[in-house]
Amino acid sequence: MVARKKTAHFEKSLEALESVVDDMESGELSLDDALKAFEKGVKLTQECQQALDEAEQKVSILLGDSPAAEPVPFDAGPADA
């Protein structure tokens, strides 16, 4: 049950981050609103990164019993993709 809540929180944070990015890319925000959006985006990014780090740690622990199964860094490709 806790894992579902964390997953739901991650997904909600990611959606909010995408919304912040869309708002900022629109170019319609005032400087003050853009700064507030940027601050919110940084916070959301940190929350998402923490959730991903926890998931990676869990995978590493689960794969730890098998020496042949080692985690490989995920390459998402170019940042602009």
Q: Report the number of distinct structural domains present in the chain.
A: 1
Identify whether 32 is part of a domain.
Answer: yes
What percent of the chain shows pLDDT beyond 90? 51
Identify whether 65 is part of a domain.
Answer: no
Mean pLDDT of the 13-17 span? 94
More confident call, 9 vs 71: 9
Identify whether 74 is part of a domain.
Answer: no
* 3 state DSSP class of 51: helix
Tokens matching residue 2: 């806790």
Identify whether 3 is part of a domain.
Answer: no
Q: Look up the pTM and report it.
A: 0.66
Mean pLDDT of the 12-30 span? 94
Lowest mean pLDDT among 5-9, 29-33, 42-46: 5-9
39 lies in which domain range?
A: 9-54
Give the H or E element holding residue 16: helix 2-26
d(CA 58, CA 1) in angstroms, rounded, equals 16
Identify whether 37 is part of a domain.
Answer: yes
